[in-house]
Structure 1
Amino acid sequence: DQQRSLAASIRQESLWLRATVENLLSLTRLDEGAVHLNRQEVELQEAAVQALQHTGTRQTDHPVTIDIDPDCTGFLDGRLMVQLFVNLIGNAMAHTPAQTAITVTGRKQGDQVVLEVADDGPGIPKEVREHLFEPFCRKSTTIADSCRSMGLGLSLVHSIVEAHGGSISYRDNAPGACFCIKLPCTGETDEAIDTECGRRCADDQPAADGV
């Protein structure tokens, strides 16, 4: 029993470390403009479902509902869209108590897709909100292991959204937190291969722990 417990802890720590390194690399490349977006027509419902698969055992502690309309598509970088959902869903799981419900919705509005990732947890303190998308911003909380967060997840999400010409904002969910993302759903397919922003497919990426 002790060996199994230690092995599980080692695995969780290694996944967290790998996610942190990947977030650092992606964030650095995005901020330096070294990323070439590999734009393809992406179904955001499918991207969210793929992202949910990377949350691992935490799914049992946080019921997640994905409600994205089928017409929510856009000429986007599919790998980065999965990473966006991985960070937002993983962030909500890491900073809310067990059994906190998480809802991912998507609706098309004109030439934009509006995505929302919301939870019914304790929300985010007012003093933290204006720094949410800065690297290494961390929410003070008593949730286990959240103190180790390096505060990269939301900063990376912000950079991904900006790289696609979109916007991201935060609002209270009364109770809980809600992140609203607006992305353009028009554009052209780009067949070029992305060689700068990571070597592995997003399907191989774990969920990232961190605001």
Structure 2
Amino acid sequence: MAKQSIVVELDDETIRSLAVLGQPNEVLARLADSAIESVHRPDHQRRARTDESLRIERDKADDRDAEALGPLDERAAVDAMLAHERVERRRRNLAGILAHERQATDEDLTGERAHVDSLLVDQREANARMVRATIRAHELADAADAAMERAEESARELRRVAEFRELFMGILGHDLRNPLASIVTSAAALLRRGHVDEHDAKTAARIIRSSQRMSRMISEMLDFTRARLGGGFPIDPQPTDMGDVCRNVVEEFEATIQLEVEGDVTGVWDQDRLAEVLSNLAGNAIEHAAWGTIARIKAYAEGAEVIVEVSNQGDDIPADVHPFIFEPFRRAKQHEKSATGNLGLGLYIAHEIVLSHGGTLEAHSAGGTTTFVMRLPRRSPSC
């Protein structure tokens, strides 16, 4: 069959595609062969074939690798098209996977960012609380320091007042002793002369008793002042029989006191100071004993100690007072005036004297019986 000349008119897009391919002669030859074949096909087949050829050529132009492909025939064009589609599908699949992974990653990052933001908020709140707590701690520390300074100043002021009171009591007691001694001496001289009638004799005796009571009060004040100002209670230990001390004390009181002495109750003590202790305990026992009862003193030995008990029957020491009975200016019944002019120093002084001997003085009060128990080592620590 003789060759026929066919004029093919190309549009602008086709011309650009051919220019990209770089081998226009071969492309034109293939297009010419395809055009010749299309002459013997129906019009719709020719159009489909022409469109397909143009699409393949454009796809190959986009692939930008015409040299690697070599001469294109129809089979190669179809394979190239299928390969291109597979690549596109893979690209789309990869793009979808990447998009999905990107979305999941974004969601994870969003959650992490929210968690981090929450942690930052918590951290800021914790920091703010710490700052507030630190400021409050400083404020409390400053307040505590100020309160401590006020308390120390109050304590110093109380000490100054107490020292002044005790010094004043000591000076007053010392200065009162001399004129009081003159009163007692003068009253006693009147009684000894016998030139007074019965009424004046009673008056003189009352003066002497009152003076003696005042003398005891002054002695208590002096002892208290000496102890509080650091002088302590000086003692002069000598061999002493506690039985004799108890008998001498009993004889001082007009009231009946039952005395019981058992065993060897001798030791080395200050006799006058212990007599002061027992006189104070016996006087309290008589003053607070129930009507119709008597006070009792019992002295006995117990190993290396000598024990003296002074007891009476009567009202128990109030529970709210009992822990403080050996403190100065404390009395069992604060609202009642002592019949003997007791200042509330007797038990304090007695306790301090016993401590100076290395002993103990305790009080037990229950069931209508009150007992003071004095325990003394046979030799005081100063011996």
Residue in 2 that maps onto 1:130: 323
Paired with 2:343 and 2:333, the residues of 1 have a C-alpha distance of 12
C-alpha change, 1:147 and 1:183, in structure 2 (3 Å) is closer
RMSD (Å) for aligned C-alpha atoms? 2.7
What do the CA deviations read for 1:65-112 (whole angstroms, capped 9, x no partner)?
111224011110111111111111112122334433111112211111
**Is the radius of gyration larger for structure 1 or structure 2?**
2
- Say yes or no: does 1:33 pair with 2:226: no
SS at match of 1:127: coil
- Say yes or no: does 1:77 pair with 2:303: no
- Say yes or no: does 1:19 pair with 2:201: no
SS at match of 2:321: helix
Task: Report the TM-score, using the length of structure 2 for normalisation.
Answer: 0.44
Residue in 2 that maps onto 1:185: 378
One-letter code aligned to 2:333? S
Paired with 1:105 and 1:161, the residues of 2 have a C-alpha distance of 17
Residue in 1 that maps onto 2:246: 48
Q: Tell me by how many angstroms 1:16 deviates.
A: 1.5
Q: Tell me by how many angstroms 1:53 deviates.
A: 2.4
Q: How many residues align?
A: 185
Paired with 1:107 and 1:33, the residues of 2 have a C-alpha distance of 32
Q: Tell me by how many angstroms 1:5 deviates.
A: 6.1
Instruction: Compare the two structures and name the one with the higher strand fraction.
Output: 1
Q: Tell me by how many angstroms 1:33 deviates.
A: 3.3
Structure 1 contact 30–160 (Cα < 8 Å) conserved: no
Residue in 1 that maps onto 2:343: 150
Q: Taking every aligned residue pair, what percent have the same amino acid on both sides?
A: 25
Paired with 2:224 and 2:312, the residues of 1 have a C-alpha distance of 25
Q: Tell me by how many angstroms 1:135 deviates.
A: 1.0
Residue in 2 that maps onto 1:91: 284
Task: Report the TM-score, using the length of structure 1 for normalisation.
Answer: 0.76
Structure 2 unaligned residues grouped into runs of 5+: 1-197
Paired with 1:77 and 1:128, the residues of 2 have a C-alpha distance of 30
Q: Which moved more, 1:127-136 or 1:146-155?
A: 146-155
What do the CA deviations read for 1:36-85 (whole angstroms, capped 9, x no partner)?
32111111010011122222x3x1xxx21111224011110111111111
Structure 1 unaligned residues grouped into runs of 5+: 191-211
One-letter code aligned to 2:277? L
Paired with 1:187 and 1:145, the residues of 2 have a C-alpha distance of 33
Runs ≥4 residues deviating over 3 A? 1-12, 33-36, 141-148, 186-190
Instruction: Compare the two structures and name the one with the higher helix fraction.
Output: 2
Structure 1 contact 168–182 (Cα < 8 Å) conserved: yes
